[in-house]
């Protein structure tokens, strides 16, 4: 019988499980209580994946001989595999009563406790195993995983590093060390770990996926795309398709992003995040109807996905889909008030009907905390220092993605050129595209230095700004599209300013000053801004007098009927809301020979707005949609407009100053928020305060008066044309001196701080 046992053991050790089992059972025919053979039969079942049988047979072995610690330990393995971790813990504890100094059993107990989520007990078991076997790389690895799950990334990284020393050829150890270093913000070291894991095991999709994620965090989205594609070749899972799509969106490949989101949904059709982000990609392509359907699907799957509701609201505004606009607006306002983690994009909040300044501040503060709070630790670690000393020449940095053909560039270009080079040095930090335009070339010449920070990570960009010794860093983006305001979160400059791009508070502890004026940001509204207000003496908005205006086209080329009074509403579609549009339709009804001239947006929006006109008893053909043109041609055709009608709660901004520059009066209703007071600011600065109203009734009455009384309209136009060259709104030289004075005051104030 001993010979039979040895033969069975040989078969077992060589992996011939069926032969081993047959001989073990033959032995049991004559020795039914042989504990050793029962135990080995249980191990055969375990190795075959028959865990229930393994539990039963090892249990019989223990019944025959309960004093063997390895029986209890292997029962624990079988129970864990059978999905019974609680009973596995009991088995390991019985094993340790028999063999308290067995490091493997302590390790296995730790694994079972870890599976149950009992992390403190798991860590204690792993540490006991290491006291018995200090150089056990597998235990260090397991302890690292438990500490990682506890959020103790520093100690986790130390454990993985010890494990790597013991097991340098193990790719999982390198990968998980990378994960811990990534959480600590040590991105370059983490990337090295992932690359080493892939060198050791080229077919390792997790490491490739982690590298993709890391490249995204570093802002190196094109590299992220390649790593995600490698991961997908190895393992086409939904999450990697989703991450690839996110990276493709960042590099502007929206069609490919849509395809990747759709691939993710084939594998996981009920993932709300994927539906939401597919909506974002479709939005970028102008496919609003599909985008809106995606947001609705995301909310159907996850009603608590609050940011999807904000996206839905904003895109319904873009599409003039007003069927549920009031309810959506109320819902989003309630989320801002009641759900601190709602992640409502602050820019979308600016155009929500009824939203107050207090709600906008709360929204911005919540966004700052959820999106940028994670940079606080990195900022503390970097610990940038600044020297408080008087200077004859201040160094001003301008941070933006819009140093190309863009509204911000159209407004600011001449200011950049007119800065006093004796008192100020200016540096542009650009992270947007180089469109090779004449505007880009002009801007590159306007600064003392023009630095393209697109290739730099957030941390490296902050280091560059700090190394350049910037005294005042002006963020021209705020919470608008493609922002990298997280650079400010690392505190690279002593004074950081929110200006021009975003008409509202950023609610961020790392932004010190907001530049406004007495109309858009009156002193008695200061409580609604987290920043200190710095007020310009006239309009906060600069204007470039060098904006070229092309030759005026023929009226017929613009599609405008002869003799018609032309009301103009060249705002973006999301700003045109039902109340304002209702007033416009009333004006058309009461001014029979008139048309409303709008900008083309997308086919869905045009269909919806024409239907809204029809519902208000206005012939939809009186709505004329102008195609988008280069700025000089747009300014030229705009001269055919008789009156620009402003919007509320989000006014015309650059659109209003463009109209005034081309001699077209603007009628506005002054709102309560920054975004709703801009046109009033511009009209005061151009000497036409009489075109500012404070109620929609007065707004409608004034517009109707100007449409019906040609002499009054001519008087206003003549006044506008007479002052255009000298009005503060278009005096770029004086504006530059004024904003320089603010920079000087900011610096002096900072020097006085203790």
Is residue 217 over pLDDT 90?
no
| Per-residue confidence band for 512, with pLDDT thresholds at 50, 70 and 90 | very high
Q: Which residues contact 685 (CB under 8 A, 6 or more apart)?
A: 538, 539, 727, 728, 729
d(CA 156, CA 177): 8
Asked if the structure places residue 412 within a domain, the reply is yes
User: Are residues 563 and 674 both part of a single domain?
Assistant: yes
User: Are residues 629 and 591 both part of a single domain?
Assistant: yes
Neighbour-count burial of 325, counting CB atoms closer than 10 A to its CB (0-12 exposed, 13-18 middle, 19+ buried): middle
What single DSSP character describes residue 1? -
Domain end point (choices 502, 536, 570): 536
Asked if the structure places residue 264 within a domain, the reply is no
Domain end point (choices 134, 152, 180): 134
299 sits in which H/E element: helix 288-301
User: Are residues 15 and 128 both part of a single domain?
Assistant: yes
Asked if the structure places residue 82 within a domain, the reply is yes
Q: Which residues contact 334 (CB under 8 A, 6 or more apart)?
A: none
% helix, strand, coil for the chain, step of 5: 60, 10, 30
**Mean pLDDT (whole number) for 276-298:** 97
Is residue 754 over pLDDT 70?
no
Mean pLDDT of the chain: 96
Neighbour-count burial of 672, counting CB atoms closer than 10 A to its CB (0-12 exposed, 13-18 middle, 19+ buried): middle
Is residue 219 over pLDDT 90?
no
User: Are residues 581 and 491 both part of a single domain?
Assistant: no
Q: Quote the domain boundaries for residue 692.
A: 556-723
- Which residue, chain included where needed, has tokens 């020297």? 387
Share of residues in the chain with pLDDT > 90 (%) = 93
Residue 599 zone, left/alpha/beta (φ > 0; ψ -120 to 50; rest) = beta
Instruction: Write out pLDDT tens, residues 395-438.
Output: 999 999 999 999 999 999 999 999 999 999 999 999 999 999 99
Asked if the structure places residue 206 within a domain, the reply is no
Asked if the structure places residue 370 within a domain, the reply is no
User: Are residues 678 and 565 both part of a single domain?
Assistant: yes
CATH code where residue 437 lies:
3.40.50.11380
Residue 127 three-state SS? helix
Share of residues in the chain with pLDDT > 70 (%) = 100
Asked if the structure places residue 731 within a domain, the reply is no
**Mean pLDDT (whole number) for 546-554:** 94
Asked if the structure places residue 704 within a domain, the reply is yes
CATH code where residue 78 lies:
1.25.40.10
How far, rounded to the nearest angstrom, does the alpha carbon of residue 452 sit from its chain's CA centroid? 21
Quick check: bond before 403 cis, omega within 30? no
d(CA 627, CA 150): 56
Is residue 293 over pLDDT 70?
yes
**Mean pLDDT (whole number) for 514-520:** 99
Instruction: Write out pLDDT tens, residues 461-509.
Output: 999 999 999 999 999 999 999 999 999 999 999 999 999 999 999 999 9
| Per-residue confidence band for 457, with pLDDT thresholds at 50, 70 and 90 | confident
User: Are residues 571 and 709 both part of a single domain?
Assistant: yes
The three-state (H, E, C) secondary structure of 128-183, written as one string: HHHHHCCCCHHHHHHHHHHHHHHCCHHHHHHHHHHHHHHCCCCHHHHHHHHHHHHH
| Per-residue confidence band for 187, with pLDDT thresholds at 50, 70 and 90 | confident
**Mean pLDDT (whole number) for 693-716:** 98
**Mean pLDDT (whole number) for 230-234:** 97
User: Are residues 682 and 591 both part of a single domain?
Assistant: yes
CATH code where residue 716 lies:
3.40.50.2000
Asked if the structure places residue 108 within a domain, the reply is yes
Instruction: Write out pLDDT tens, residues 353-401.
Output: 999 999 999 999 999 999 999 899 889 989 999 999 999 999 999 999 9
User: Are residues 701 and 562 both part of a single domain?
Assistant: yes
User: Are residues 492 and 622 both part of a single domain?
Assistant: no
User: Are residues 481 and 529 both part of a single domain?
Assistant: yes
Instruction: Report strand pairing: 565-569 vs 643-645.
Output: parallel
Q: Output the DSSP codes for 17-60.
A: HHHHHHHHHHHHHH-TT-HHHHHHHHHHHHHHT-HHHHHHHHHH
Give how many domains the chain has, as a whole number.
3
d(CA 97, CA 198): 42
Q: Which residues contact 105 (CB under 8 A, 6 or more apart)?
A: 69, 73, 76, 92, 95, 96, 99
User: Are residues 576 and 708 both part of a single domain?
Assistant: yes
Instruction: Write out pLDDT tens, residues 709-729.
Output: 999 999 999 999 999 889 999
d(CA 167, CA 155): 18
Instruction: Write out pLDDT tens, residues 644-653.
Output: 999 999 999 9
User: Are residues 522 and 586 both part of a single domain?
Assistant: no
Query: Helix 696-708 and helix 578-590: axis angle, to 10°?
Result: 30
d(CA 459, CA 462): 5
Q: What is the pLDDT of residue 218?
A: 81
d(CA 7, CA 26): 12
What's this model's pTM, rounded to 2 decimal places? 0.89
């Amino acid at each position: 019988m001993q010979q039979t046992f040895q033969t069975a053991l040989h078969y077992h050790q060589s992996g011939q499980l069926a032969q081993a089992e047959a001989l073990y059972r033959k032995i049991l025919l004559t020795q039914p209580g042989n504990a050793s053979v029962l135990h080995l039969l249980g191990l055969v079942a375990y190795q075959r994946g028959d865990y229930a049988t393994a539990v039963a047979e090892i249990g019989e072995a223990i019944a025959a001989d309960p004093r063997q610690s390895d029986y209890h330990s292997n029962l624990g393995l079988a129970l864990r595999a059978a999905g019974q971790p609680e009973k596995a813990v009991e088995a390991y504890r019985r094993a340790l009563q028999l063999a308290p100094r067995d490091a493997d059993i302590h390790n296995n107990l730790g694994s079972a406790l870890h599976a149950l989520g009992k992390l403190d007990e798991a860590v204690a078991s792993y540490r006991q195993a290491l006291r018995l076997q200090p150089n056990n790389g597998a235990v260090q690895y397991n302890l690292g995983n438990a500490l990682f799950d506890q959020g103790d990334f520093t100690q986790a990284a130390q454990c993985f590093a010890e494990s790597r020393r013991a097991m340098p050829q193990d790719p999982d150890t390198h990968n998980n060390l990378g994960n811990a270093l990534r959480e600590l913000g040590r991105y370059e070291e983490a990337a090295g770990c992932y690359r080493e894991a892939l060198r050791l095991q080229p077919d390792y999709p997790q490491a490739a996926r982690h590298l993709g994620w890391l490249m995204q965090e570093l802002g190196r989205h094109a590299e992220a795309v390649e790593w995600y594609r490698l991961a997908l070749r190895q393992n086409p899972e939904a999450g990697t398709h989703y991450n690839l799509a996110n990276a493709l969106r960042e590099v502007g490949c929206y069609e490919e992003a849509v395809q990747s989101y759709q691939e993710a949904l084939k594998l996981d059709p009920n993932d709300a995040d994927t539906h939401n982000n597919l909506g974002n990609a479709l939005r970028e392509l102008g496919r609003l109807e599909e985008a809106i359907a995606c947001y609705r699907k995301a909310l159907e799957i996850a009603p608590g996905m609050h940011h999807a509701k904000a996206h839905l609201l904003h895109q319904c505004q873009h599409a003039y889909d007003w069927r549920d606009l009031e309810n959506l607006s109320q819902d989003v306002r309630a989320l801002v008030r009641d759900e601190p983690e709602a992640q409502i994009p602050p820019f979308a909040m600016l155009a929500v009907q009824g939203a107050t300044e207090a709600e906008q501040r709360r929204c911005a503060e919540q966004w700052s905390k959820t999106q940028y709070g994670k940079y606080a630790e990195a900022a503390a670690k970097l610990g940038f220092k600044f020297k408080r000393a008087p200077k004859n020449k201040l160094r001003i940095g301008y941070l933006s993605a819009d140093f190309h053909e863009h509204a911000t560039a159209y407004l600011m270009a001449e200011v950049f050129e007119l800065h006093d080079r004796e008192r100020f040095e200016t540096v542009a930090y650009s992270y947007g595209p180089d469109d090779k335009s004449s505007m880009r070339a002009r801007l590159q010449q306007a600064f003392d230095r023009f630095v393209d920070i697109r290739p730099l990570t957030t941390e490296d960009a902050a280091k560059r700004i700090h190394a350049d010794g910037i005294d005042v860093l002006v963020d021209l983006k705020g919470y608008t599209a493609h922002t990298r305001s997280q650079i400010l979160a690392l505190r690279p400059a002593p004074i950081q300013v929110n200006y021009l791009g975003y008409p509202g508070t950023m609610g961020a502890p790392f932004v010190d000053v907001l530049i406004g004026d007495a109309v858009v940001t009156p002193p008695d509204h200061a409580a609604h801004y987290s920043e200190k207000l710095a007020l310009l003496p006239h309009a906060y908005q600069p204007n470039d007098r060098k904006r070229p205006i092309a030759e005026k086209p023929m009226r017929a080329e613009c599609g405008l009927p002869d003799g018609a009074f032309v009301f103009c509403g060249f705002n973006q579609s999301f700003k045109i809301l039902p109340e304002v549009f209702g007033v416009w339709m009333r004006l058309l009804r009461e001014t029979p020979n008139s048309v409303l001239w709008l900008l083309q947006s997308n086919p869905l929006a045009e269909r919806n707005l024409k239907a809204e006109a029809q519902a208000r008893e206005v012939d939809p053909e009186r709505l004329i949609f102008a195609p988008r043109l280069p700025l000089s041609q747009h300014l030229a055709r705009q001269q055919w407009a008789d009156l620009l009608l402003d919007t509320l709660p989000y006014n015309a901004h650059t659109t209003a100053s463009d109209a005034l520059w081309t001699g077209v009066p603007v009628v506005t209703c002054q709102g309560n928020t920054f975004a709703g007071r801009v046109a009033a600011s511009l009209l005061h600065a151009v000497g036409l305060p009489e075109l500012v109203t404070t109620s929609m009734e007065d707004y409608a009455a004034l517009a109707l008066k100007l449409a019906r009384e040609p002499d009054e309209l001519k008087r206003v136009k003549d006044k506008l044309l007479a002052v255009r060259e000298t009005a503060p709104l278009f005096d770029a030289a004086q504006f530059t001196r004024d904003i320089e004075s603010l920079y000087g005051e900011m610096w002096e104030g900072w020097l006085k701080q203790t």
